[in-house]
């Protein structure tokens, strides 16, 4: 299976890890579309959550990655966009379950409370795990129905 196309963005708190993660993902042969910011000046996380969420929602990207201080604000904002299931991931176990059970399509990562290597492990798991389907897919369909 070809690598998924990725969309990534952060706020100022996540900027440094975003840059390092892009370099790492490129080395792993992922196509990564960087939606910014392009320096570490203070910005508002909803503006960047929207860019990645819309890329995933319109299928320009298969999966998205967002980084802020906690990952919480990014996930709350991204989940306002239709078709987005953003999960705030702070452990490898949550990355597995967010993909298998919830078919999460955006990983919202914490740059202030989770170190770079742990975020790499979380992302490796997120990108390498597929939704389980069956009863979990029925529940995901119910999430989608809530958007109507």
Residues of this chain that bind ligand RB5 (CB under 6 A): 11, 13, 45, 68-70, 72-73
The nearer residue to ligand RB5, 61 or 77, going by C-beta atoms, is 77
| Rounded-to-integer distance, Cα 1 and Cα 108, Å | 24
Q: Which is nearer to ligand RB5, 82 or 113 (CB)?
A: 113
Minimal distance, residue 8 CB to ligand RB5, in Å: 15
> Is 15 an annotated catalytic residue?
no
Q: What is the DSSP letter of 14?
A: G
The Cα 119–Cα 59 span in angstroms is: 24
**Residue among 43, 42, 24 at smallest CA distance from 32:** 24
- Nearest CB to ligand RB5, comparing residues 44 and 93: 44
Assess whether 101 carries a catalytic annotation. Answer: yes
Q: Where are the alpha helices (DSSP H) in 58-115?
A: 72-78, 92-100
Catalytic residue among 19, 46, 62, 101: 101
* Rounded-to-integer distance, Cα 37 and Cα 43, Å: 8
Query: Taking CB positions, which residue lies at the least distance from ligand RB5?
Result: 73
Q: Which of 53, 63, 68, 86 is catalytic?
A: 68
Min. distance of Cβ 101 from ligand RB5 in angstroms?
A: 24
Nearer to ligand RB5, 4 or 69 (CB): 69
CA-closest candidate to residue 111, choices 8, 6, 10: 10
Shortest Å distance, C-beta 47 to ligand RB5: 12
Under 8 Å between Cβ of 7 and 52: yes
Give the active site residues.
68, 101
């Amino acid at each position: 299976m070809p690598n998924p196309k990725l969309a990534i963005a952060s706020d100022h708190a996540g900027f440094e890890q975003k840059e390092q993660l892009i370099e790492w993902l490129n080395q792993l042969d992922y196509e990564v579309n960087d939606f910014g910011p392009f320096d570490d000046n203070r910005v508002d996380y909803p503006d960047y959550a929207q860019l990645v969420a819309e890329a995933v929602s319109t299928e320009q990207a298969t999966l998205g990655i967002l980084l802020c201080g906690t990952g919480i604000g990014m996930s709350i904002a991204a989940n306002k966009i239709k078709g987005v299931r953003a999960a705030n991931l702070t452990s490898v176990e949550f990355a597995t379950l967010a993909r298998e059970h919830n078919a999460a399509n955006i990983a919202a990562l914490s740059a202030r409370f989770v170190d770079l290597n742990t975020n790499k492990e979380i992302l490796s798991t997120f990108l390498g795990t597929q939704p389980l389907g069956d009863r979990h897919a029925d529940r995901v369909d119910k999430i989608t129905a809530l958007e109507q």
